[in-house]
Chain A
Amino acid sequence: MRAQTNLVALVLSLALLTGATVIGVTFADAALADADRDPIDRHVVTTVADRLVAADAPTTVRANALNATAVENLSASRIEALAPPAEDAAIRITLDGEPIVARGAPGGGATIRRSVVVVSHSEPVHRTINLSRDSTVRVPRGVGRATVAVDTGPNTTLRTVHASGRVVLYDGAGLETNTTVHLSRYGPTTIRVDPGTNATGRVAVTYRQPRTESRTLTVTANA
């Protein structure tokens, strides 16, 4: 039996080797399980968020600026039309925690956050230039367009309307119109007319003052 002590040592070493293999496979298993992310979920949330804030999306007024009215009218089917990857996915979209769209329970899915501004428009503001008294009206910054209605009295010819020195309306035969003009959003605008002396009538300027609020858009989805 003395010769078989070698055998005992061999069996022992093989058992140790088996143990090492099992431990190795367990670690490999854990590593594989750790690496098992769901790229499809990530794709769904990034495309939904990207398409929602894109400059050419129906929900925005410009890139990263959401239109408050369009956001209120959002629904799961509109999200699908905007971003087809969201089809059949459980999805939740919130603005500062306030839910906008919710379908299913996307717990455990991917989440993405975007910093956006929400633009809402005030009720129309009416300002009037009484041609017999004054000749300018000031529009605050942020207003991109205004409606100018020219209604001159008898014996008055108004040919030009200026916005911050730029000619926005001109008619050599005299203006009598109701038109939308585009203004610069980046600063206050002065709308000026040149009625001449003894003029009568009025120019009405109507605009909507935009209000912007900074919010966090959160999209969670589980495909």
Chain B
Amino acid sequence: MTARDRALVPVVGKTLEALIVVLYVASLVTVLHGGVLPEYRTAAAAEVSDRTLVTAADRIEASIPPPSTRVDVTRTVDLPDTIDRATYRIRVVNGVMVLDHPDDALSGRVPLAIPDRVVTVSGVWKSDEPAAIRVRGDADRVRVMLS
């Protein structure tokens, strides 16, 4: 071994170390961002979507008072602004509450349990706007508006 070769040894060693660290970090980032993180994000988003839908349905069901001659109820509803970084809409079609999300896997529907007095449920909630329930009517006919 010449003196020149011996001087090269630490250089090669350090380069090797740096290379291993870079490779390690790259593989870790690939594994986490390629598989684990998106999976968690979807699982959490599906859970949030389910809960949002059920909470909204509960709020509507709870806002309809027992029969009385005049009904005038306004309630605000807290909805998450986004699910999986996308805004969504909630509306009611034929007594079924529907959550419209750009991702079909995160959309959902749940039937509402409301008395027969409720003749219509109209309107739509957009997740990035304040949401409120308005219930108007009398003893026989009650209308519910989402706004």
The A-contacting residues of B in range 10-30, CB under 8 angstroms, are 10, 13, 16-17, 20-21, 24, 28
User: How many interface residues does chain A have, given as a range?
Assistant: 20 to 34
Given contacts A32-B40, A85-B113, contact A46 B17 (CB under 8 A): no
A91 nearest CB across to chain B (Å) = 13
A56 touches B67 (CB 8 A): yes
Measured in the bound complex, the distance between the Cα atoms of B113 and A51 in whole Å is 8
On chain B, the number of residues with a Cβ less than 8 Å from chain A's Cβ atoms is 33
A87 touches B111 (CB 8 A): yes
A32 nearest CB across to chain B (Å) = 6
Measured in the bound complex, the distance between the Cα atoms of B117 and A56 in whole Å is 10
Measured in the bound complex, the distance between the Cα atoms of B23 and A82 in whole Å is 62
B13 touches A39 (CB 8 A): no
A14 touches B24 (CB 8 A): yes
Measured in the bound complex, the distance between the Cα atoms of B54 and A36 in whole Å is 14
**Which of B36, B51, B66, B111 sits near A85, CB closer than 8 Å?**
B111
Residues of A within 8 A of B61 (CB): 47, 50
Measured in the bound complex, the distance between the Cα atoms of B110 and A46 in whole Å is 14
Measured in the bound complex, the distance between the Cα atoms of B16 and A10 in whole Å is 10
B90 within 8 A of A: no
The A-contacting residues of B in range 89-129, CB under 8 angstroms, are 95-96, 110-113, 115, 117
B44 within 8 A of A: yes
A10, A55, A63: residue with the most chain B Cβ atoms closer than 10 Å? A10
B43 within 8 A of A: yes
**Which of B21, B47, B112 sits near A36, CB closer than 8 Å?**
B47
B72 within 8 A of A: no
A43 touches B9 (CB 8 A): no
Q: List 19 A-B contacts (CB under 8 A).
A: A3-B10, A6-B17, A7-B13, A7-B17, A21-B28, A28-B40, A36-B43, A36-B47, A39-B55, A43-B58, A43-B110, A48-B113, A54-B66, A55-B66, A55-B67, A56-B66, A56-B67, A56-B115, A84-B112
